[in-house]
Amino acid sequence: MRMRWRMPFSAITLLIVVPAAAWTEPTTGPAQSAMVREAQPLVDAINKHVAARWTKLKVQEAPLADDAEFMRRVFLDISGRIPYTSEARDFLDDKAADKREKLIEKLLESSGYVGTYSAFWRDLLIPPDNNQQRQLLQRQITPWIQKKIRENTAYDKMVFELLTAPVATGNTGGGRPGRLGAQNGPAIFYQANEYKPDNLGSATSRLFLGVRLECANCHDHKFDKWKRKQFWQYAAFFAGIGTSQPQDFGDGQGEEDRGRNELTIPGTDIKVKARFLDDSVPDWKKGKSPREALAEWITSKDNPYFARAIVNRIWGHLMGFGIVEPVDDFTVDNQPSNPELLDALAKAFVEHNYDMKYLIRAIVLSKPYQLTSKMTNESQLDTTAFARMSVKSLTAEQFFDSLALATYYNESAPVTKGGRRDPNNNVVSPRDEFIARFANNSDKRTEPQTSILQALALMNGKFLNDITSADRGQLLGGAVLFKPEDSKRCIEALYLATLSREPTADEMSKAVKYIEGGGVSNDKSKAAADLYWVLLNSSEFMFNH
């Protein structure tokens, strides 16, 4: 099979019409859904440009992922959790040639998709922090984000809405932000940035243009062409934003002077007027506020940064590394590793009206996404080649939700009584506590580092221990009901529930030996609990691969 892929890619496409299913198994051509058909040209373009780089770098790509590996990966990447045992069994037993496409569509329509991508955007717009104020802001912006994701709002429209959202929202009194409905959500972004033009300038250029301007905040950028004056000219689009009460905890109400489009650089008496990053100036028509002008410029089809920044970000999210890496650092000395690929993604995304699901679908159907993460050749170490899927971290939420799922943990009926209370005397749920412990603040998904405290929490922590104990754990209780002769079925159930795959022959024989041997206390249920514990503490469980 490896020999086949060494043929010039163009030769294959000329000779054979290749249905998407051929990437999964050699079968006859199946019926393709309309969505898949629509995405096919981009899928082909991705495959073409990635393969071209393999040839150029003389890279031997990894084989395709098998069903179990693909299934778990795509469940996590699209719906933020591992599959239930029943879902896993159904997929693995399914003989349909287009089952991967069907699964992708099912996941894109699931509530898990809304949940996990809302969390993704929430964390980008309001970077998480372990303090109450931050957490409150995150909660407040979530309904708006969820609405956008659920309705699959076009990305350019979502950004436009955010950039032009009214900022003065009114309070319910007492200086604290009122209960904000979904339509007031975007105002929270301004609050989180303390209503300051420089913060808003840095955040928006980083998020939507992939440009980290903030170094130019104080002096000319060291590695790029941005000058200090340009930073402030860009920030000046937000010059009209302010707050009534700038103080310690950012409780102040937002205010806006819609006409204002210039500011004074702090610490100097240099006044600058709003100017775009490409040095052009808006047509200051009456009635159009600076933010509207900025929003139009940013989301314009002609803006070279906008589409490339988002497709690069999503590519990086799914593949573990961006084509430009770090994903929000497009600079003169950080060029795309595969410019043709980046341009193809950007172009197609714009042509399809910035449809997020379309983009995700195309990437996930592509060959590089479907490769295994098991390294089979040294050349696969070059991450810019995308010749093997990278090991990616789970977010703390994904980790907890997968853990809960693998153990049939039901939060409404907690296994342990008496949770901790926070300063407002609210019970801190195990989920919240867990997420606080495991929040991964690194923006590098492929280099998550486990700390000693995390390891201890997993090894000895009450939560995991309760879940995996033979008498208390729910899944285990069910699994150990199997009779001793059924240790095989027990093992299979544990592997499917946790790693979403069946044990290999070698793993099975080792596990049977251990359980039949009763572990250290000559007790088969305890031995099964040990195996369960091991599976949940393993790298294979903890990471997305």
Residues composing the chain: 545
Instruction: Out of 146, 373, 395, 398, point to the residue binding another protein (CB under 8 A).
Output: 373
- Strand pairing partners for 242? 255
Q: Cα separations (Å) of 213 from 20, 37, 81, 109, 205? A: 41, 40, 35, 37, 7
Size of the site for another protein (CB under 8 A): 72
User: Rule CB under 8 A: is residue 228 a binding residue for another protein?
Assistant: no
Site for another protein in 459-488 (CB under 8 A): 459-462, 465, 469
At its nearest, how many Å lie between another protein and the CB of residue 102?
A: 28
Q: Does 454 bind another protein (CB under 8 A)?
A: yes
**CA Rg value for the chain:** 26
Nearer to another protein, 483 or 513 (CB): 513
378 counts as binding another protein under rule CB under 8 A: yes
What is the three-class DSSP state of 183? helix
Task: Pick the binder of another protein from 66, 90, 94, 214 (CB under 8 A).
Answer: 214
The DSSP result for 239-266, as a single string, is TTEEES---TT--PPEEE-TT--EEEPT
Q: Report in angstroms the alpha-carbon separations of 497 from 89, 156, 410.
A: 10, 39, 15
> How far apart (Å, rounded) are the C-alpha atoms in residues 484 and 530?
16
Residue 522 in contact with another protein, rule: CB under 8 A: no
Q: Is 379 in the site for another protein (CB under 8 A)?
A: yes
Q: Which is nearer to another protein, 148 or 545 (CB)?
A: 545
332 binds another protein (CB under 8 A): no
Helix (H, G, I), strand (E, B) or coil at 273: strand
CB atoms within 10 A of CB 227: 13
C-beta closer to another protein: residue 30 or 448: 448
Q: Give the one residue of 446, 474, 486, 488 binding another protein; rule: CB under 8 A.
A: 446
**Is residue 537 part of the contact set for another protein (CB under 8 A)?**
yes
Nearer residue to another protein within complex by CB, 330 or 358? 330
Among 38, 66, 129, 502, the residue binding another protein under the rule CB under 8 A is 129
* Closest to 163 measured CA to CA, from 295, 297, 306, 307: 295
The yes or no reply on residue 450 touching another protein (CB under 8 A) is yes
Secondary structure of 131-171 in HEC code, one letter for each residue: CHHHHHHHHHHHHHHHHHHHCCCCHHHHHHHHHHCCCCCCE
Report the 3 state secondary structure along 187-227.
HHHHHHCCCCHHHHHHHHHHHHHCCCHHHHHCCCCCCCCCC
CA distances, 91 to each of 50, 64, 501, 541 (Å): 28, 17, 11, 19
Query: Which is nearer to another protein, 86 or 441 (by Cβ)?
Result: 441
* Residue in 74, 103, 277, 531 binding another protein, rule: CB under 8 A: 531
Which one of 96, 281, 375, 481 is in contact with another protein (CB under 8 A)? 375
Residues 139-158 within binding reach of another protein (CB under 8 A): none
Check residue 543 for interaction with another protein (CB under 8 A): yes
DSSP label at 305? T
Question: Taking CB under 8 A as the rule, does residue 542 contact another protein?
Answer: yes
18 binds another protein (CB under 8 A): no
Q: Which of 423, 485, 505, 522 binds another protein (CB under 8 A)?
A: 423
Q: How far is the CB of 8 from another protein (least distance, A)?
A: 25
Show contacts with another protein in window 151-190 (CB under 8 A): none
Asked if 296 is part of the footprint of another protein (rule: CB under 8 A), the reply reads no
The only residue of 441, 485, 505, 522 in contact with another protein, by rule CB under 8 A: 441
Helix, strand, or coil (residue 427): strand
Among 206, 313, 361, 501, binds another protein (CB under 8 A): 206
Q: Which is it for the CA torsion 213, 442, 336, 282, positive or negative?
A: negative
Number of Cα atoms under 13 Å in the Cβ half of residue 154: 11
Using the rule CB under 8 A, is 244 a contact of another protein? no
Give the residue, chosen from 73, 501, 524, 545, that forms a contact with another protein under the rule CB under 8 A.
545
